Amino acid sequence: MTTTSFAIELDSNLDPKNAVYDEEIRARQPWSKVIQTGQILRIIDLQGNQAVDTLFYNAHDTSERYSAPDTVVRQGNIFITTGTELMSSDGNVMMTVVGDTCGRHDTVGGACSMESNSVRYGLQKKHLHACVENYLLELSQYEMNKRDLVSNINFYMNVPVSADGTLEIVDGISESGKYVDLRAEMDVMVLISNCPQINNPCNAYNPTPIRLIVWDPV
């Protein structure tokens, strides 16, 4: 178990000393874990402005997975924040955001890939590490592949939408120690790419570690 010396903003009654899981995830790395029903997963942005690209699957039937369109329609808002219910492709609530010290998170910008890097930033950027490659590496452990990639949530990523519907990736609004708490409403396989992107400001051009904590139901 590893931790960090960065100060953590604790304005909830969840104490890391009582956690059943507490790990620091290095910059640019993938991660996955089954979060059981009722458990709370905290994702901490340790140094600020670190995008955390996240996928969600029903742990017992991975054909049921997170649906950004259903989530947006259900809440009538394109941003993820406290109170948001993460909806599945089958219309079930997968997780609920029960705490958020950042304020809002993106679910329409998608995940970076070798292809998007080459289109947006030039062919010379194609082979830079990207979230889709992290996803595929982690999914392979579950005998899943590119067909299983679906819409994701970009925690701590700032993607404002203009009046004409244009998306723009701009400087983040997160700071060191900000966190989001997710309560599992079913057994959920959570898959994270600690975003390696260095071509836009989603990570302040400098990918950094995150900390993940899990608590059993209180």
Are the CB atoms for 130 and 116 separated by under 8 Å?
yes
Across the chain, which distance is largest between two alpha carbons, in Å?
50
To 5 degrees, how large is the angle CA 9–CA 28–CA 5? 30
SS3 content of the chain, % helix, strand, coil (to 5): 20, 35, 50
What pLDDT shows up at residue 6? 35
Name the DSSP letter for residue 71: H
Write the DSSP string, 110-136. Answer: ----HHHHHHHH-GGGTTS--HHHHHH
The model's pTM: 0.88
State pLDDT tens for residues 81-118. 999 999 999 999 999 999 999 999 999 988 775 655 45
Q: Which helix (H) or strand (E) holds 137?
A: helix 131-139
Average pLDDT, the chain: 87
Distance CA 64, CA 1 (A): 31
Query: In the structure encoding, which two tokens stand for residue 178, read together?
Result: 């900000």
Q: State percent of the chain over pLDDT 70.
A: 84
Which string of b and e fits 116-144 if b means at least 16 CB within 10 Å?
bbeeebeeebeebbbbbbbbbebbeeeeb
Q: Which of 83, 95, 100 is nearest to 9 (CA)?
A: 100
Q: Is 41 strand, coil or helix?
A: strand
pLDDT at 67 over 70: yes
Query: In the structure encoding, which two tokens stand for residue 41, read together?
Result: 């997963």
The domains of the chain are located at: 18-215
State pLDDT tens for residues 157-199. 888 787 777 777 777 789 999 999 999 999 999 999 999 876 6
